[in-house]
Amino acid sequence: MLKLYNTLSRSKKLFRPIKGKNVGLYSCGPTVYNYAHIGNLRTYVFVDILKKILAYHGYKIRHVMNITDVGHLTSDADIGEDKLLLAALREKRSVWDIASYYTDVFKKNISDLHIASPDIWCKATDHIPQQIELIKKLEKGGHTYRISDGIYFDTATFKNYTTLARLKLSDQKAGARVEENKEKRNPWDFALWKFSPTLESGVKREMEWESPWGVGFPGWHIECSAMSTFYLGQPFDIHTGGIDHISIHHTNEIAQSEAAYKKQMARFWVHAEFLVIDNARMGKSEGNFITLQHIIDRGFDPLDYRFFCFSAHYRSQLTFSWDALASAREGRLHLESQVAHISKEAGTGAVSSGMRALFGVYEKKFLAATADDLNMPKTLSVLFSFLTRINKSKKEMTPAEYGYAYKKILAWDAIFGLRLGEEKSEQKIPKYVMQLFHQRTEARKQKKWKHADALRIEIQRAGFSVEDTQEGPTITRI
Ligand code: AMP
Ligand code: ZN
């Protein structure tokens, strides 16, 4: 009885897949012209939780995520410069290098955060034929028109254009959502295929393809329509993204897919709220950009950030600060040590019926919290109250019952993804901190006291303390 908030109806709805226990899930992936910031990564932690909760409830998921590696312009209104091209100029590399480098870093971020990889990663540049086919279908259906810079979708030909975002188009004209392009029939029409610059302009794009309309590249929205249908069919079960996608990207995806196939694109549209910092949305162009590497460099474990994400429901804004992250780290380490204690006491054998009944009550609470639109703060509080309850009963608990409790915690960790059954993080010291530690030892040998002190302070800032014992310096987590 899993309920999810569906943006289409603006309400929590009972989730039932189209086909038995199989779930087709599509997530808008990153645009790979820069590092993902931890705001982007919050959205992917949310997708991971969605997948893991679905799996816990017995569903089998086929998850598809795209990599936008082409043609995403600096403006959502199909004008402006190509973000990848700007990055290539900035970094003096080819656009292909840019896309491949930032894709690799993104995948590493995902794995560091213990986010399960999608079953299918699909790159826009690997699916140009599918995008061209879809545009041809739209053209045949009378949904497109040609202007000087490309082929556009005529939104007036799709009557449900405003459904997802509940847009009032009369308000849009004055709003910032669309920019003026005098040739467009309606201000909110959007590009399906953009033409490459003409030979006379002297500009040559690195990424361009032949098409029935001329050499060019696809508009941003078309890739998700083409690839979701290609891999999942239509309709599929769940489509995810950040809330910024509701009014443009997802609205346009729906227009393309539903106009082409005359049926619903996805049953559930699930959107994650923003990570904010100093009261502003964290954004690639907002200059308030923190990456996972910044967090690691400050001595945090990526799982501290994962745990931090559980402190708010995915549909609420989450405010980032270093202090809040430090509290999350403390909370996570405390959790680890409680679980380590249970693991030490764990044995095998018969479990009393009273204990079984008690554990059953917690299992019900746990399931209910996850089923309530993926309520992670509530789910986590069930785990904490379970630990408190075990602690209270410690005098009467047998090793077998500890073993039973430990197994339950590990089963729940299939959702939390905090590696609760593995080597404890207190014992793990980041490489970067170890380097500082060795540099300090060396500085002391050379009697560079000031430098050694500065290094000690840096190590402390990363959350570790150094002590000089008779056997030499030692390092421990504060
Ligand atoms: P992009 O790489 O810009 O396409 O963004 C990747 C994902 O991150 C999209 O689903 C966005 O909706 C989401 N996103 C962008 N900014 C934030 C933010 N500050 N907090 C949470 N998610 C975000
Ligand atoms: Zn998309």
Closest atom, ligand 1, to C-alpha of 30: 2
Do 187 and 268 share a domain, yes or no?
A: yes
Do 284 and 390 share a domain, yes or no?
A: yes
Q: Let me know if residue 33 belongs to a domain.
A: yes
Are 238 and 268 spatial neighbours (Cβ–Cβ below 8 Å)?
yes
Closest atom, ligand 1, to C-alpha of 68: 4
Instruction: Mark which of 416, 439, 456 sits at the end of a domain.
Output: 416
Per-position pLDDT tens, the chain of length 478: 899 999 999 999 999 999 999 999 999 999 999 999 999 999 999 999 999 999 999 999 999 999 999 866 655 556 667 888 888 888 889 889 999 999 999 999 999 999 999 999 999 999 999 999 999 999 999 999 999 999 999 999 999 999 999 988 776 664 455 566 889 999 899 999 999 887 777 677 888 999 999 999 999 899 999 999 999 999 999 999 999 999 999 999 999 999 999 999 999 999 999 999 988 999 877 778 899 999 999 889 999 999 999 999 999 999 999 999 999 999 999 999 999 999 999 998 889 999 999 999 999 999 999 999 999 999 999 999 999 999 998 888 999 999 999 999 999 999 999 999 876 655 567 777 788 888 999 999 999 999 999 999 888 877 788 888 877 888 887 7
Do 297 and 203 share a domain, yes or no?
A: no
Q: Let me know if residue 62 belongs to a domain.
A: yes
Which residue's CA is the closest to the ligand 1 atom numbered 11? Answer: 242
Instruction: Give me ligand 2 centre to Cα 428, in Å.
Output: 38
Distance between CA 435 and CA 443 in Å, rounded?
12
- For ligand 1, pick from 33, 40, 243 the residue to mutate: most ligand atoms within 8 Å of CB: 40
Q: Let me know if residue 426 belongs to a domain.
A: no
Starting from the CA of residue 266, give the closest ligand.
Answer: 2
Distance between CA 405 and CA 343 in Å, rounded?
9
Distance between CA 154 and CA 156 in Å, rounded?
5
Distance between CA 393 and CA 145 in Å, rounded?
72
Its domain, for residue 463, covers 431-477
Do 286 and 253 share a domain, yes or no?
A: no
Q: Let me know if residue 421 belongs to a domain.
A: no
Closest atom, ligand 1, to C-alpha of 244: 12
Q: How far is CA 192 from the centre of its chain?
A: 26
Which residue's CA is the closest to the ligand 1 atom numbered 2? Answer: 30
Instruction: Give me ligand 1 centre to Cα 452, in Å.
Output: 41
Which residue's CA is the closest to the ligand 1 atom numbered 14? Answer: 40
**pLDDT attached to residue 175:** 47
Instruction: Give me ligand 2 centre to Cα 29, in Å.
Output: 7
Closest atom, ligand 1, to C-alpha of 27: 10
Closest atom, ligand 1, to C-alpha of 284: 3
Ligand 1 pocket (Cβ < 6 Å) reads: 28, 30-31, 39-40, 42-43, 241-242, 244-245, 272, 274-275, 281-284
Which residue's CA is the closest to the ligand 1 atom numbered 15? Answer: 40
Closest atom, ligand 1, to C-alpha of 276: 19
Do 43 and 164 share a domain, yes or no?
A: yes
Instruction: Give me ligand 1 centre to Cα 76, in Å.
Output: 14
Instruction: Give me ligand 2 centre to Cα 227, in Å.
Output: 9
- Is 0.85 surpassed by the pTM of this model? yes
**Count of structural domains within the chain:** 3
Instruction: Mark which of 226, 252, 272 sits at the end of a domain.
Output: 272
